[in-house]
Chain A
Amino acid sequence: MVDSAGKGFRREKGVEILLALAASVSVLVTIGIVVSLFSETAGFFKEVSVKEFFTGTKWTPLFSPAHYGIAPLVAGTMLVTVIAMIVAAPLGLASAIYLSEYAPDGVRRLIKPVLEILAGIPTIVYGYFALTFVTPIIRAVFPQTNVFNALSAGIVMGIMLIPMISSLSEDAMTAVPNSLREAAYALGATKLEVSYKVVIPAAVSGIVASFILAFSRAIGETMIVTLAAGSTPKLTFNPLDSIQTMTAFIVQVMLGDAPFGSIEYKSVYAVASVLFVVTLSLNLIGTWIVRRYKEVY
């Protein structure tokens, strides 16, 4: 009796330890990302000064003379993501308002799956769509447009982000207690007034969080920009121009044959580190805001 109880206890303990190990993998992944990124990034900064990297305005690691100023990649990334947000923020918010305040149940049940499908379409497919469908339309309107351009990638990325903003903002809006809506209706407010004078202000932190998380997602998006936005690092604000984003640069080098240990190879890690730090910070801010508004109600 005592023996079998002891065995049972040991097995219970063993299982718990195994499960704890599984849970700790997530921490290992984070450590792994940090260590692997910074291992080569450190090597990169032995050869390129931190000052040049952050203040230089030319990015030409694959040609000589090589320049390693990240500004053009950051500018390219910003150009595409800002376009994406101009598309996604108003449309995503409008979609969320409709779903949370206006939609009858039946219509809602129709729209939600469409948004879920849009959210589930692989980015490579969006990339194909940008390059072969949206770009020709843009070029028909503005003939001076480059085959690869920030606008097409930005628009399609924006469309890709609509479901994300819509569903996160909708969550924030449905968390607004109904008693507030009733208070406004009882004063003779229209549905529109209830939406933008009561619901949106009350849900504003969640809405902002959805924008931040979408923005972070846009910065890290890779395939759309690789296919449609080009591979010419350029400090430009012209959306019709070919540019290169941080992610597209990483792909470009990874597809080439830069040998391990070369400076081009290391430059990928430096860029990826920037990408990681920026998106992680945005995500931390975004999830922090979401947690805070969840506590309020």
Chain B
Amino acid sequence: MTLESIISVRNLHVSYRDRKVLKGINLDIYKNRITAIMGPSGCGKSTLLRCMNRMIDLSEGARVGGKVLYRGENIYSPKIDPAQIRFRIGMVFQKPNPFPKSIFENVAFGPRINGYKGDLSALVEQSLQRAGLWDEVKDRLHENAYMLSGGQQQRLCIARALALEPEVLLLDEPCSALDPISTMHVEELIRQLKERLTIVIVTHNIQQAARVADYTAFLLQGELVEFGETSRMFTVPKDKRTEDFITGRFG
């Protein structure tokens, strides 16, 4: 099977005000694969992820140089509306952030604003199914989303993103606010979703990367130290720093 690159990061530089946080990143995200971005806290993982759907535009003081190609087109070209990119590339955040609305309305939000032409209830059901939440909430769709547990809220946020049928789903440490059981659920879910879409997951949890990712990128102080198949990287790391990080010998 040939690997098709759906997102290509080319010589990406990002700075906040005068502080450089990403220094010339080159990276390919392969279609229908799970790519993990790992690295110590503050190394620029979230920044890199937010560059892939232009959420970085919302970070105050952030300046972006270089290119991010999505299906061959530079998403930073002036004729691109960031909303259009975000519509195609979904995102799930570190802390579950459901809207203070009903479970149904949360999932229906994206389809509504983007002019969904089909049957909305069916789409909501389908998205909740795919997020593995349907059985738990099917009788309480009109309850406020804040009634759900943290893990359920995070899966709701995944369902909300899935409702737009994105081609790529970006997950920024989706399990860091969750307990081990919920984390397991979400990881299982991510593996299933791989069939339909491409996933990029940020994590600083080495085991998580090893468990779910096909490819792993190791980021250190704004530089991409190593990128490759997870199995290879975790067995024969090329870079000394990667090895130190994986074996936990790192600061």
Contact = CB atoms under 8 A, between A and B. Distances in A.
Interface string A182-200: 1111111110010001100
Interface residues of B, number: 24
A188 B93 contact: no
A201 interface: yes
A180 B90 CA distance: 15
A182 B164 CA distance: 16
Given A190-B83, A197-B113, A179 B97 contact: yes
A202 B87 CA distance: 23
B109 interface: yes
B100 interface: yes
Contact of B113 (A181, A182, A189, A202): A189
Interface in A153-212: 177, 179-190, 193, 197-198, 201-202
A85 B47 CA distance: 45
A91 B37 CA distance: 47
A21 to B, nearest CB: 45
B100 A188 contact: no
A189 B97 CA distance: 15
A296 to B, nearest CB: 8
Given A179-B93, A197-B109, A197-B113, A186 B86 contact: yes
B114 interface: yes
Contacts of B97: 177, 179-180, 182-183
B23 interface: no
Contact of B109 (A179, A182, A187): A187
Interface in A78-115: none
Which of A185, A188, A198, A202 counts the most B-chain CB atoms under 10 A from its CB?
A188
A207 to B, nearest CB: 14
A173 to B, nearest CB: 14
A181 B86 CA distance: 13
B161 A186 contact: yes
B74 to A, nearest CB: 19
A250 B73 CA distance: 72
Given A179-B97, A201-B101, A202-B100, A185 B110 contact: no
Contacts of A188: 83-84, 86-87, 110, 113-114, 164
A186 B113 contact: no
Contacts of A189: 83, 113
B36 interface: no
Contacts of A183: 93, 97-99, 157, 160
Contacts of B93: 179, 182-183, 186
B95 interface: yes
A198 B91 CA distance: 17
Nearest to A198: B99
A182 B91 CA distance: 9
A202 B90 CA distance: 23
A186 B98 CA distance: 12
A202 B113 CA distance: 18
Contacts of B110: 187-188
B58 interface: yes
B55 interface: yes
Nearest to B87: A188
27 contacts: A179-B97, A180-B97, A180-B99, A180-B100, A181-B58, A182-B55, A182-B58, A183-B157, A184-B109, A186-B53, A186-B90, A186-B91, A186-B161, A187-B87, A187-B109, A187-B110, A188-B83, A188-B110, A188-B114, A189-B83, A189-B113, A190-B83, A193-B113, A197-B113, A198-B99, A201-B101, A202-B99
Interface of A: 177, 179-190, 193, 197-198, 201-202
Given A188-B86, A188-B87, A189-B113, 9 more contacts: A180-B99, A182-B97, A185-B55, A185-B83, A185-B86, A186-B161, A187-B87, A188-B110, A198-B99
